[in-house]
Structure 1
Amino acid sequence: MNPVIPRLARLFLIAFAGVVALIVVVQIVWINPGKRCEEAGNWWDWRGRACARPVLISDITGRVIDTPEARAAAKDHAASQKAAASKAAPEAVKP
């Protein structure tokens, strides 16, 4: 029998095992922690593999929204910003 065929079979088996190992590592290191982080309501940064809790500006500055009108205005502004961002996101993806 030609010795090339068993050699190629071993090569493909090693390549297949390497790809499977790479998929398992990506799943364990990036995908699963990201899912757990986002399920907890936090933000997942896949580049640095960091799970961060969103921080309100009022927590940083110490300013408190103390009137109901100001609170309603802040919520309306945040909702409009979120809606604008969600509308702009699909357009940014198009080449």
Structure 2
Amino acid sequence: MNRTIKRLMLIFLGAFALSTVGVAVYQVGWVMPGQRCEAKGDWWDWRGRTCAHPVLISDITGRVIDNDAQRKAAKAAAAKARGEAPPAPQ
């Protein structure tokens, strides 16, 4: 076999091996932890590879909605922000 063909074969084999290792590192380092985090219902930040638990603002401030009309309005606003239909009046 020609030396050039052998050299090209080794170059392509090396490029294939490096890309395979790169895909494996991406899967193990970013995709799999993200799937585990989101399966728990938490938020996954892929840039910092951080799994964060959402915290309600009422837990931070200690303020709760004690008025039923305001609670319904807040639920309707949250549903609208998520793009869902507002809850049916009861």
TM-score range, shorter chain: 0.7 to 0.9
Match of 1:36 in 2: 36
The answer for unaligned runs of 5 or more in structure 1 is 85-95
TM-score (normalizing by structure 2)? 0.86
Answering whether residue 4 of structure 2 is matched by residue 4 of structure 1, we say yes
Bigger mean CA offset, 37-46 vs 68-77: 68-77
Deviates more, 1:29-38 or 1:59-68: 59-68
State how far apart, in whole Å, the 1-side matches of 2:81 and 2:10 are.
56
> For the aligned residues, what is the CA RMSD?
1.3
Residue 67 of structure 1: how far off its partner (Å): 2.8
Judge which range, 25-34 or 60-69, deviates more.
60-69
Quote the offset at 1:15 in angstroms.
Answer: 0.5
Aligned counterpart, 1:19: 19
Q: 1:44 deviation in Å?
A: 0.5
Structure 1 runs (4+) greater than 6 angstroms displaced = none
The structural deviation recorded for 1:11 is 0.8
CA shift for structure 1 position 53: 0.8
Query: How many residues are aligned here?
Result: 84
Q: Greater helix percent: which structure?
A: 1
User: Match of 1:53?
Assistant: 53
TM score, norm. by length of structure 1: 0.82
